[in-house]
Structure 1
Amino acid sequence: MYLFRRLPVAAAALCAACLLALVPLQAAPLANDAFSRTVTSGWGSTPQSQAYTTVGGSASDYSVGSSRGEILLSTSGNRLARLGLSLGNVEGTVRIALSATPTSTYAYAGPCVRVVSAGNSYYYFRLKHAVGGDVTLTIQRLLTGSQTTLSTEVTVGTGYTAGAYYLVRFSAAGTSPTLLRAKAWPEAAPEPALWQVEYSDSTSTLQVAGGAGIRAGGHSSFAPLNSSYRVDDFKVHDVAYVSNLLTSMQNAVAGDILYFTGTHTGNMKTYAHGTAASPIIVRGVAGTVQTASQATGYGVDVRHNYWRFDNFTINYALKGFYAYNADYGVLTRIDITNTGTEGFKFRRYSNYWEVVECSVDGAGQNANDYGEGFYVGDAQANWATSTTPDTSGYIVFRACHVINTSNDPYDVKEGAHHIKFIGCVADFTGIEPAGGAARGDSGFYLRGDDLQLISCSVTGLGNGSTAYNANNALLNGIDYGNRIEFKAASATDITNGGSMFEIHSRCDDVEIYTDYTATNVAVFKAGSGSYTTPAPASFVELTW
């Protein structure tokens, strides 16, 4: 079974040791501060009547005005504005900007969690602005004032402009260990799908509930002094583990963040839309979803917009993940095993999805049925009408992996469009579909339009079929299966008469860039249609 690494360390311990009190979730964050007030010599209180306490610097270094909190770096020392909350599992977001570009060394600011009453011990998600314009993110621990860097330092931006906001999303879950995760991005950019820094820590002092806040400071040689860190939209959610994921998803509304651990049984279905600003998020911590049968039921069934799913396994279902007329979703590190039919299916006008580091192992275990790994759109027989194509599209699959499927690992149907596969793998070293199987027998079956495959690979296919099949269908006077690009494609050990590429004679604008790699495989199936072979330097990745 191929599963992506989900926790840095001690995943099993999380199930047994980190269950905090099970409480109902609220759509509104526990703290939600837009700083719509005016305060001098402090930060006052949030709209939820939670008072900030300041630690470090002088009182005049802290102020609120112009819809933001400010921390003045009058000297290079550290400063902390904290809320006296008591939170164990927590997830939040905040906007942070530095008023000047550093001219010497660096300054830093970021959210803190598990802040103990003395204000000198906590976990800290540090956003650093350095001379030269680099912006980096790190997880740190302060213990009675002594600082330790826990994670690697990741660059999240370059060429910083004074006053430009970055968003930081941060999370702490569990105890002994506590799983710490964060990501940061420029305000004008989309939120990254994956956490950028992660660490698990079991330092005893911080395995308790604590406060949250914002810390800021600068290196001893930082310049210019009297710069300010600006803080806005500081939101903190209490994300205690839900006891029943099925019920929690039924009741979820925009802005909810659902954490779960252990095994939850049932068809996990959506009932409400999130929004662009307030998506509904479901995160697993050593979590599994399963249904009662491979003959009926979908592990996760999404019929609404703006949902995000992160870091869990779907095991034993008819279909693992199913999106139906659902837009603007994100899937990260979802591993699907042992499904009766498809692993992931996106159909009936599902658009704008990002699917990252997801995997399928063992799709199509119901005999003589569908068994694709990732499936987009529908064949004409399953359109809303015979003349109304399923135009699902604008989907990115990144670093996904498929093994042990009874049909094509990746299948894009007629009408689907604007799909990118980046670094995706079709692995046939386990079971493989029978050669000539009516429901598909190749690595990537491509009948959609405007498709790009970038650095994808197919290995171990021994049924005489092809790694990459660019197909075509003429339906209602419309040709489907055009404008397909293969950049840095690879195929290895495609045997028994198989080939790397098969191009249907009616496919137009197929481009196979010359940086492909073919190992122990014939490059083209006899009779393949026309294509061009551009130089790699001319490739332009699709955007939307």
Structure 2
Amino acid sequence: MTTLLGVMPVVLLLACSRQLSSPAATETATLTHTTAVYRTVYVSTASQLTSALANALPGDSIVLADGTYSGHFTMAVSGTAAVPIILQGSRNAILDGGDINTGYVLHLKAAYCTVRGFTVRNGLKGIMTDGTVYNLIDSVRVYNIGEEGIHLRTFSSHNTILRCDISYTGLKTPGYGEGVYMGSAKNNWGTYTGGNPDKSDSNQVLNNHIGPNVAAECIDVKEGTTGGLVSGNYFDASGITGANSADSWLDVKGNYYNIDGNTGYNPSGSVLVDGFQVHCVYSGWGNYNVFTNNNCTVNASGYGFNIQLSGSNGTTVGNKVYSNNTVTEAVSGVSNIALSN
């Protein structure tokens, strides 16, 4: 029976019904003295999934049976802070876009949604968010993708990417093959954000495994974004290509990011140059980022932390690399800036 969340167990009249007809089996539970109706919707085909997403209500849990769901899917109905909409399944429930050359396998365009546990593969982009807030992408496997694995775009803020496994990205366009991509490059602001910075702010990327065979950076933080947290992740540089100047695990071009407690590994012989980088690609950006407690096995000619100080686009300020970071096998040293204590 469906679990009832966020409602006090006052005098109840529990009315349960199960609908087993197409498009999906649904359980509902209703409480007197409230208007809450929370449903568990079981799906086992692509058409049932499409229908369940289109007709979702706040509080719905859409449960994927194991199997392959072929197509491109859009989650555009919002939940609420108290009762999010949940889409969940095991790793054996697979959303398959069918072609690494086109389309988003899963397109999130809603607020207060959780996607959890299943697999996303075979699309130009794995999971794309546009204009989303307070979503959770949890324990999803993303692989075999033409460009980015997970992309937070178009003012997508306060979202969390947690415990995901991302590999084999950039199979079509290696230079766009980031594992996680936050925001939009300045050259795309005219397309997606009316010429304004893409303020995809305050997002968190936590405890994910990114790599191997992520063709560009494991994480790319774009100019125009502010105030995110990147923590507890494991980065594997095996298969990084160097295309489009991608030669680090993480490249920060935004402001006020906290990068803490990540572990980076680079096998000898890859094209990685530095472990972590900060760049100013647009004046006023690439500032006040803080690196703490990261463990870096670089095995490359560069630094553990390479902070661009100035360039043709401007000067960075306020970035700090703390002495509690651990760096091994970086030929140029721990950091190109003085360490903070």
* Bin for the TM-score computed over the shorter chain: 0.7 to 0.9
Residue 29 of structure 1 contacts residue 236 of structure 1 at CA under 8 Å; is this kept in 2?
no
Letter in 1 for 2:244: A
Q: Distance in 2 between matches of 1:493 and 1:29?
A: 47
Letter in 1 for 2:330: V
1:30/1:356 CA distance change after superposition, 3 Å: closer
1:450/1:32 CA distance change after superposition, 3 Å: closer
1:368/1:459 CA distance change after superposition, 3 Å: closer
- Matched residue of 1:417: which SS? coil
Q: Please, which runs of 5 or more residues in structure 1 have no aligned partner?
A: 1-27, 38-45, 51-84, 88-211, 213-231, 535-544
How do residues 470-489 of structure 1 correspond to structure 2 at under 5 angstroms? 470-475=278-283, 479-489=284-294
1:525 Cα deviation (Å)? 8.2
Aligned partner of 1:69 in structure 2 is none
Corresponding position: 1:441 with 2:250: no
Residue 298 of structure 1 contacts residue 319 of structure 1 at CA under 8 Å; is this kept in 2?
yes
Q: Distance in 1 between matches of 2:288 and 2:152?
A: 21
Higher strand residue share: 1
Residue correspondences, number? 312
1:246/1:387 CA distance change after superposition, 3 Å: closer
1:315 Cα deviation (Å)? 1.2
Aligned partner of 1:253 in structure 2 is 57
The counterpart of 1:494, out of the listed 271, 290, 299, is 299
Corresponding position: 1:319 with 2:125: yes
How do residues 185-196 of structure 1 correspond to structure 2 at under 5 angstroms? none
Q: Distance in 2 between matches of 1:258 and 1:374?
A: 25
Aligned partner of 1:418 in structure 2 is 227
- Matched residue of 1:336: which SS? strand
Q: Which has the larger radius of gyration?
A: 1
Q: Please, which runs of 5 or more residues in structure 2 have no aligned partner?
A: 19-28, 310-314
- Matched residue of 2:57: which SS? coil
Residue 510 of structure 1 contacts residue 532 of structure 1 at CA under 8 Å; is this kept in 2?
no
1:367 Cα deviation (Å)? 3.9
The counterpart of 2:203, out of the listed 386, 390, 395, is 395
Aligned partner of 1:348 in structure 2 is 154
Q: Distance in 2 between matches of 1:511 and 1:337?
A: 33
Letter in 2 for 1:433: T
Corresponding position: 1:509 with 2:315: no
How do residues 57-456 of structure 1 correspond to structure 2 at under 5 angstroms? 239=40, 241-243=42-44, 244-261=48-65, 262-285=67-90, 286-367=92-173, 369-384=175-190, 387-403=195-211, 404-428=213-237, 430-434=238-242, 437-456=243-262
Corresponding position: 1:466 with 2:267: no
Aligned partner of 2:26 in structure 1 is none
- Matched residue of 2:159: which SS? strand
- Matched residue of 1:480: which SS? coil
Aligned partner of 1:201 in structure 2 is none
1:398/1:442 CA distance change after superposition, 3 Å: same
1:501 Cα deviation (Å)? 1.3
1:354 Cα deviation (Å)? 1.5
Q: Distance in 1 between matches of 2:133 and 2:62?
A: 20
Residue 248 of structure 1 contacts residue 258 of structure 1 at CA under 8 Å; is this kept in 2?
yes
Deviations 1:232-289 (A, max 9, x none): 99x8956352132122112212221100022111111023221112211101133111
1:522 Cα deviation (Å)? 3.0
Residue 406 of structure 1 contacts residue 431 of structure 1 at CA under 8 Å; is this kept in 2?
yes
Deviations 1:103-151 (A, max 9, x none): xxxxxxxxxxxxxxxxxxxxxxxxxxxxxxxxxxxxxxxxxxxxxxxxx
Cα RMSD for the two superposed structures: 2.8
Deviations 1:311-348 (A, max 9, x none): 11101111111111111101110110100000000011
% same residue: 25
1:31 Cα deviation (Å)? 10
Q: Distance in 1 between matches of 2:131 and 2:7?
A: 34
Q: Distance in 1 between matches of 2:221 and 2:331?
A: 24
